[in-house]
Amino acid sequence: MKPEKQVHPFPPVFDENSRVLILGSFPSVASRRAMFYYGHPRNRFWHVLSLLYNEEVPEDVDGRREFLLRHGIALWDSIASCTIAGSSDASIRGAVPNKIPELLEKAPVKKIFCNGKTSHACYEKYVYPLTGIHAAPLPSTSPANAAKSLEALAAEWKAIMD
């Protein structure tokens, strides 16, 4: 697949009760089509959160947004625009970060977590110098990280609940 310049197509999810911010890297092709986060059916993000909070997996965008806000979770991506081949984080070039400091001014976020290495690297390189707040890396929920079981992922992701 040929690398193409892409701009993040949808806004962050947050409100005045958001205490935790989870950052992905950049939306996959499936997420860009769905116009919401973690739209690929094999991405385990929604399954991990559902397991942690002992709830059914929310099936649609409205249910997913409501789930996040009910649990005080803000959701966005580290990257606002980049050149990317399909959904491959490894192909990302010319990343421009999202304006995360602006979100942090609007929501009472206490902890920041990154879903995967690419998100964490981008955050630490571009955003940490502006905020002085380190983000904690979590293992990716991507289908590309299939070596970890759902239960193993959830065990590490439990950190968002502390």
Residues involved in catalysis = 43
Tokens 């205490």 correspond to 19
**CA distances, 144 to each of 58, 81, 128 (Å):** 22, 22, 26
Task: Note the helical H segments in the chain.
Answer: 29-34, 45-53, 61-70, 100-106, 117-122, 128-131, 150-157
